[in-house]
Structure 1
């Protein structure tokens, strides 16, 4: 045992194949030498998986890895779509003419691209920035003040805050996600920031 220990650079832990076992041989089934009555190899060292259990273990790891890989891929697709939405919004707000009337000091009255007077409390439909003919939600104007904050960020010019009452396209991604809110379906009953160019009056 001393000779074997002198040949190892590190002190080995006590285990199934430690120096003691290398010199005196493996323990017999049902007992572990020097550990007293009733201690079995399974209790002392744990189970050695057989071929079938090892295969199941590997398959379990493989399944978990594939699931994690799929989640990463889905998150990448969501991020890519969000970037595309942001780019489309920037293009829309810079290239789409937005009709505005002279508004009050707190910015609560505007005339949007549908030529209809819209103010705080007006029922509106918000449109998809990918397809402006597609309504993604119905709600009410909460604020059009550029300094008003949604998710700790000010709206800025040509944006408004809309309270979502009826989600139409639940899976539509928010242009400005915040907190745990990333889709229209998750934002029901709360507020989202949306470009004025994609908000139209919703007549009852």
Structure 2
């Protein structure tokens, strides 16, 4: 059949008759679930559509330029068609078509190969998903989340991870400090604690809080509790820790050893409770 009608105006009778002929041919040979690859300029063989949608697309947008051999819709390339005619005297039509399809990977009414579709549509584009009929769609993968929202969530997660890493680093410094004190340091600390244990063990004692990094005084306040089960920020303070009511801050930017809620540094903790190691708490002599 003459295919010149493909280049005609799409409102002409010639084009419309040719279009109906194409749809009949395509759906007879390559229909899958009542759908075919759409050869319009917009779809470019990228999706499968129903007959009504294919008719609309090809009327509005027209065919892909030069698509006059319908190899994606069951038609053999011309060289294969001529060879097939020579074999029809000894083989049935179905046998010839099946043999050629098997040899060259051309789709027929029973089978549409993914590799052949790839040859028609070309290479995948970076960051694009190729859709085939009822397969996976982008919304299945992204779960309906807009790209801008995904970026925002990623930034929030990164900020949370950074905060957690900072807290972990502080805890590691505490452990390292305790591990590397050595025998002399432990003896010295034990003597210091024994000398001041009476005052540090007393609730209401006015004390100074020293930095774990520099040993300098960073704040002043009152002992509220030395009970290991006492909770500050929802977490038990544990053994050898005090619950301190902070009244005066000397070093506002000093990081809390045990941050909680939104409290990260001493400047935020005035008038609030804080957990502090008893080894870094010194009674204030009046």
Return the TM-score normalized by structure 1: 0.55
Cα distance change on mapping 1:196 and 1:11 into 2, 3 Å: farther
1:150/1:80 Cα in 2 relative to 1: closer, same or farther (>3 Å)? closer
Structure 1 equivalent of residue 279 of structure 2: 197
Instruction: Name which structure has the greater RCO, CA cutoff 8 Å, separation 6+.
Output: 1
The aligned counterpart of 2:205 is 122
Aligned length: 152
Question: Within 2, Cα distance between the matches of 1:170 and 1:146?
Answer: 27
What is the aligned-residue RMSD (CA, Å)?
4.0
Gaps of 5+ in 1: 13-17, 27-59, 102-110
Matched, 1:186 2:268: yes
1:100 aligns with 2:183: no
TM-superposed deviation, 1:156: 2.8
Shift of 1:129: 0.9
Residues 70-93 of structure 1, C-alpha deviations (whole Å, 9 max, x = no match): 74674365134323333146446x
In structure 1, what is the equivalent of residue 252 of structure 2?
170
- Indicate conservation of the 8 Å contact 2:254/2:265, yes or no: yes
* Most deviating of 79-88 and 190-199: 79-88
Q: Is the contact made by 2:167 and 2:259 (CA closer than 8 Å) also made in structure 1?
A: no
Bigger Rg over Cα: 2
C-alpha distance in structure 2 between counterparts of 1:135 and 1:74, whole Å: 28
Q: How does 1:39-58 map to 2 (within 5 A)?
A: none
Q: Aligned residue for 1:150?
A: 232
> Paired residue for 1:83?
171
Corresponding position of 1:159: 241
What corresponds to 1:25 in structure 2? Answer: 61
Cα distance, 1:160 vs. partner? Answer: 0.9
- Aligned to 1:171, the other structure's residue is in SS state coil
Q: Write out per-residue CA displacement over residues 103-156 of structure 1, whole angstroms, 9 at most, x where no aligned residue.
A: xxxxxxxx24xxx83421122111111111x22221111112233232333333
Instruction: State yes or no: 1:6 paired with 2:36.
Output: yes
Alpha-carbon displacement from aligned partner over 1:34-87 (angstroms, at most 9, x marks no partner): xxxxxxxxxxxxxxxxxxxxxxxxxx99x9799769746743651343233331
Query: What TM-score do you get using the length of structure 2 for normalisation?
Result: 0.41
Structure richer in strand, relative to its length = 1
